[in-house]
């Protein structure tokens, strides 16, 4: 029995237990992967300032994100194809998040549909929207998210054109996987993964298949998706979507101070400083490097959250100390899901909360809201 002490342990198990094409889909960035790598190595350059002889009792990681109470300021980021990491992966992640007391965000590109997840998750979840050219599809999916009582809409802005991940092309990534001899051999060695997949009703891209014009199966979906991301997404269209949604509205994928100011002026309930986990513009700076400039540009106009590169509670602490009021994690919980299903997502959250709590105490702080620049030591010229 493997003792799990950190996210890296879950990552090792994820790699062992999941077909290579899906593990690689998660653990990769676009092109040279420079931004993907620097998202994590930049966090490591920021150091924590230890404080002693302070009262550390009565600590709390509790906070709110867009008005919603959270056990810690962390939400599960939208991740496509979760249901290929483990059967019903979206449902498993949503349940783990609800039990733990943090939000789960369902991707447009999920395997389980909005309705599947709503039927099986105890709490409302957030829905992430990719804006497609087909306006009827966009209108309908917003209505479906409303009907399913999704409590926030997260609109992703940084994927109207697709960055290329070399590994996905080399692996011939598809969902469901093509039944080639190499894939069959690989899948045959991933026993739990295969057993759970076989025991689960076949669901594929439930938000799209059967809901978009001309998309009746997984094969027609591939060509639909490659043509559908709307390259003309601008503030007029964003406003139309916000008005149709009418609820909490979060803009994801901002990495520039001017864009952040525009999003804040627009009235977003929160913005997410993100480079999509290094999967889009390779060569962009890490989110954590861009954070202070964006926090300063936005002021109190909206909540600023951060994702990309968070692998520990110490990383969460660093983002909060630099002015984010919330964070999102992607791969950290996907590793948990691929390693151990729902229990693995819970484990990832537990590990990170404990790391956050202990590091906060050793920094001499009791509440996540009290963290600030004083808690950090940052190399000169870093920002």
Which residue from 4, 26, 93, 349 is in contact with ligand FNR, where contact means CB under 6 A? 26
Q: Is 207 in the site for ligand FNR (CB under 6 A)?
A: no
Distance of CA 66 to CAs 13, 34, 332, Å? Answer: 34, 32, 22
Residue 33: its H or E element: none
Q: Minimum distance between the CB of residue 181 and ligand FNR, rounded to whole angstroms?
A: 26
Q: Is 79 in the site for ligand FNR (CB under 6 A)?
A: yes
Count of CA atoms in the C-beta half-sphere (13 A) of 97 = 32
Which residue from 177, 309, 326, 341 is in contact with ligand FNR, where contact means CB under 6 A? 309
DSSP 265: H
Task: For Cα atoms 118, 124, 125, give the angle at the middle one, nearest 5 degrees.
Answer: 85
Choosing from 14, 166, 211, 276, the catalytic residue is: 276
Q: Is 252 in the site for ligand FNR (CB under 6 A)?
A: yes
Residues 125-184 that bind ligand FNR (CB under 6 A): 128, 156
Piece of 176-184, 273-281, 295-303, 317-325 that binds ligand FNR (CB under 6 A) = 273-281
The mark string for 91-130 relative to ligand FNR (x by CB under 6 A, - otherwise) is ----------------x-x------------------x--
Q: Minimum distance between the CB of residue 82 and ligand FNR, rounded to whole angstroms?
A: 8
Distance of CA 296 to CAs 179, 257, 260, 322, Å? Answer: 51, 8, 10, 10
Which residue from 18, 39, 286, 312 is in contact with ligand FNR, where contact means CB under 6 A? 39
Q: Minimum distance between the CB of residue 272 and ligand FNR, rounded to whole angstroms?
A: 7
Q: Minimum distance between the CB of residue 364 and ligand FNR, rounded to whole angstroms?
A: 27
Output Rg (C-alpha) for the chain, integer angstroms: 20
Query: What CA–CA distance (Å, rounded) separates 204 from 40?
Result: 32
Question: How many positions of this chain bind ligand FNR (CB under 6 A)?
Answer: 24
Distance of CA 245 to CAs 42, 111, 116, 134, 225, Å? Answer: 36, 23, 20, 17, 23
Q: Is 80 in the site for ligand FNR (CB under 6 A)?
A: yes
Catalytic (active site) residue 14: no
Q: Please enumerate in sequence order all residues whose Cβ is within 8 A of that of 30, keeping only pairs 6 or more positions apart, or say none.
A: 36, 163, 164, 165, 278, 279, 280, 281, 282
Q: Which residues are catalytic?
A: 276
């Amino acid at each position: 029995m493997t003792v799990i002490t950190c996210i890296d342990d879950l990552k090792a198990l994820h790699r062992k237990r999941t077909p290579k094409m899906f593990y690689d889909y998660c653990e990769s960035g676009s092109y040279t992967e420079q931004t993907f790598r620097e998202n994590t190595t930049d966090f490591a350059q920021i150091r924590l300032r230890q404080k002693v002889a302070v009262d550390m009792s009565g600590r709390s990681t509790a906070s709110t994100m867009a008005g919603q109470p959270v056990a810690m300021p962390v939400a599960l980021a939208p991740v496509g194809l979760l249901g290929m990491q483990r059967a019903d992966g979206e449902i498993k992640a949503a349940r783990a998040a609800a039990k733990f007391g943090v939000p789960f965000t369902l991707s447009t590109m999920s395997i389980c549909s909005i309705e599947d997840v709503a039927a099986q998750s105890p709490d409302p979840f957030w829905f992430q929207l990719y804006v497609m050219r087909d306006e009827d599809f966009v209108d309908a999916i917003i209505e479906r998210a409303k009907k399913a009582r999704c409590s926030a809409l997260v609109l992703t802005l940084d994927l109207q054109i697709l960055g290329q991940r070399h590994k996905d092309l080399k692996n011939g990534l598809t969902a469901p996987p093509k039944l080639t001899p190499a894939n069959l051999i690989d899948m045959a060695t991933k026993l739990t993964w295969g057993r759970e997949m076989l025991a689960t009703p076949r669901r594929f891209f439930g938000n799209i298949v059967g809901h978009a014009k001309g998309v009746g199966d997984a094969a027609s979906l591939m060509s639909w998706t490659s043509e559908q991301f709307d390259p003309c997404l601008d503030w007029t269209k964003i406003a139309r979507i916000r008005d149709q949604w009418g609820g909490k509205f979060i803009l994801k994928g901002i990495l520039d101070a001017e864009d952040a100011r525009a999003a804040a002026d627009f009235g977003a309930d929160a913005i997410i400083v993100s480079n999509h986990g290094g999967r889009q513009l390779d060569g962009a700076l890490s989110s954590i490097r861009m954070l202070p400039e964006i926090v300063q540009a936005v002021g109190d106009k909206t909540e600023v959250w951060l994702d990309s590169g968070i692998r520990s509670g110490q990383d969460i602490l660093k983002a909060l100390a630099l002015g984010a009021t919330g964070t999102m994690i992607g791969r950290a919980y996907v590793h948990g899901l691929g390693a151990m299903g729902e229990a693995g997502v819970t484990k990832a959250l537990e590990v990170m909360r404990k790391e956050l709590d202990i590091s906060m105490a050793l920094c001499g702080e009791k509440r996540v809201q009290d963290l600030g620049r004083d808690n950090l030591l940052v190399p000169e010229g870093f920002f």
